[in-house]
Amino acid sequence: MQKKVNQLKLGAILSYLSIVIQSLCAIIYTPVMLRLLGQNEYGLYQLGSSAVSYLSLLSFGFNSSYVKFYFEYKVKGEEEKIRRLNSIFLLVFCCLAIVSCIVGGVMIASANLIFNSSLSPADVHQVRILMFVLVLSTALTFPNIIFDCYITAHEKYIFQRLILIGATVLLPILTLPLLYMGYKSTALVAVNLFISVFRTVMNVYYCFVKLEMKFQFHGMQLNVLKNVGSFSIFIFLNEIASQINWNVDKVILGAVQGASVVAVYSVGSQFNQYFINMSTAVSNVFIPRVNKMVAERQGDDALTALFIKIGRVQYVVLSAILGGYLLYGKFFIMKWAGEGYDAAYYVGALVMIPAIIPLIQNIGIEIQKAKNMHKFRSIVYFIIAFANLGISVPLGKYYGAIGAAFGTTLATVVGNIILMNWYYQTKIGLNIKAFFKSMIRPTIVLIIAYMEGLLVKSFFAVDSWFDFISQGAIFICVYGILLYRWGFNQEEKENVRRMFKRN
């Protein structure tokens, strides 16, 4: 048991460490990359990436269903069924890799029809080259899914996070020399392909050598696909909605505005991606535990307690990031990204402010899946996503990056906040009133710390990196002290004391 606890704690710590490393790499690497590529070339890269990202939908949600079915068999001790499950998933994902290449080929051939009104012929040609390499990289990720899921099911988070950290460090190390040699955006996609190969090889090695993963193709019960399919179809709808909400804005802006506006939007949305990563760093390591709790038929009170406990940890971290971004993000973007990216600050703020609520509740998504009650969420998100699409086209056309971001904000408020919290309370059995009540004291602390930051800024403008670092440090210190004194409960205070005693 202690070994598993260590995997959870160290996995979460390494997740945050990987995000810190990603952030440091981004702070150092991204400005150099932007200047070497230029706004237009960076926009082309983001445009190609956003278009190809839709191929990930071909997983049809099967990746999210593996852990659920694994624990259903594991709790019953049915090892043979696990081996057959592994075989079925491997065959399915290999077939999907082939399908993704075919669909990707059609997308590449259609690039001129989609972007000819906003991109030059040379830009369209470059986008096609980028998409070709990205399609290969995406196709390779499909067979890797089964191995990654198997590692997750065994709660081997330390290995997973170390591989992630390695990939993060490799990206700038390999890319920057190629950019200096003049390979432009082609270098970015080539390195992405190499890293995909690296991660796949490492996962396959770990599964076979360390976890002794086994397959049994003989006697496979293909009716399992029916059960997996009925579970996964609604996850598939949810993934479509997620792709629309988080990636369609770039495609819309590429079609109605051009590559430069896509680049501005991408810089702002990049902060939102770091925001999301900070949230999932904690919740992802609890996915197997949630599935095990549901398989063992533990009650809603136990699930609510876990929901609140994880949510508070996420809220403490995310609220500090959001407060810091709102206070000092504009200066950082101007210095970090350079001239012409001013609107990126407002893009980031628009998508991050409403996103904090669903992000501190994302363990609830896993509870829904484990209970096989995720259908409502998927249908609602699917409808809201297409409403977002309809809103973002005119907003993006007339108001650019900020208009497109506002469409995503509306979709988040209606779908992720209002409707989903009603569903959690009335259908899933989670005590949402208790959840939000537990956030009151940390919220008061955040408001006080934020007002302190505004007060300091009113007397001392943030005009230099020294001002940025010193005022940011003061904000974090005030927030941390107030949080420990008034925001934490006794268990959280004890965890903090224990952490410092160890050090």
Mean pLDDT of 80-100: 87
Residue 297 is given by DSSP the state T
Residue 171 has pLDDT above 80, yes or no: yes
Dump pLDDT digits (tens) for 286-295. 777 787 788 7
**pLDDT tier for residue 117 given thresholds of 50, 70 and 90:** low
The pLDDT of residue 1 is 41
pLDDT at site 481: 92
Count of alpha carbons within 13 angstroms of residue 348, beta-carbon side: 29
Does 5 have pLDDT greater than 50? no
Distances (CA, A) of 169 to 28, 176, 187, 483: 12, 12, 16, 33
Residue-level pLDDT at 25: 77
Res 188 pLDDT > 80? yes
Highest mean pLDDT (candidates 39-53, 197-211, 326-340, 364-378): 197-211
Average pLDDT, integer, range 469-489: 91
Please give the pLDDT value at position 4. Answer: 46
> pLDDT class for 183, splitting at 50, 70, 90?
confident
Q: What is the pLDDT of residues 375-415, one digit of tens each?
A: 888 888 888 888 888 888 888 888 888 888 898 888 889 88
Percent of the chain with pLDDT over 90: 22
Q: What is the pLDDT of the chain when averaged over all its residues?
A: 84
Which range in 37-41, 255-259, 447-451 is most confidently predicted, on average pLDDT?
A: 447-451
pLDDT in tens, 43-58: 888 888 877 877 777 7
Q: Is the pLDDT of residue 503 over 60?
A: no
Residue 323 has pLDDT above 90, yes or no: yes
Which residues have a Cβ under 8 Å from the Cβ of 163 and sit 6 or more positions away? 199, 202, 203
Mean pLDDT in residue range 201-211 = 91
- Looking at residue 502, what is its pLDDT? 57
| 188 within 8 A of 175, measured Cβ to Cβ | yes
Tokens of 494: 């004890």
Burial degree of 124 (CB within 10 A; 0-12, 13-18, 19+): middle
Q: What is the pLDDT of residue 6?
A: 57
| Domain definitions of the chain by residue range | 2-438
Which of 249-253, 373-377, 417-421, 461-465 comes out lowest in average pLDDT?
Answer: 249-253
pLDDT at 118: 67
Contacts 24+ apart (CB under 8 A), 310-313: 310/282, 310/283, 310/286, 310/363, 311/360, 311/361, 311/363, 311/435, 311/438, 311/439, 312/360, 312/438, 312/439, 312/442, 312/492, 313/282
Mean pLDDT of all residues in 154-177: 86
Highest-scoring range by mean pLDDT, 7-21, 216-230, 285-299: 285-299
The answer to whether 200 and 143 have CB atoms below 8 angstroms apart is yes
